[in-house]
Amino acid sequence: MILLDTSVLIEMFRAKSKSGTFFYQLAKENNDFSISMITHFEIFRGSHGFQDVFWTNLFQHIKVIPFDIVSSNEAIKIYKQLKTQNKMIDLADMLIAATAIAHNFDLATINMKHFKKIPNLHIL
Q: Where are the domains of the chain?
A: 2-115
At residue 35, φ and ψ (nearest 5 deg) are -135, 160
Asked if residue 41 lies in contact with residue 73, where contact means CB atoms within 8 angstroms, the answer is: no
For residue range 65-75, what is the model confidence (pLDDT) as tens digits? 999 999 999 99
CATH homologous superfamily, domain 2-115: 5'-nuclease (3.40.50.1010)
Q: How far apart are CA 38 and CA 85, in angstroms?
A: 24
pLDDT in tens, 23-48: 999 999 988 999 999 999 999 999 99
Do the bridges between strand 33-36 and strand 63-65 make them parallel or antiparallel, or are there none, so unpaired? parallel
pTM for this structure? 0.93
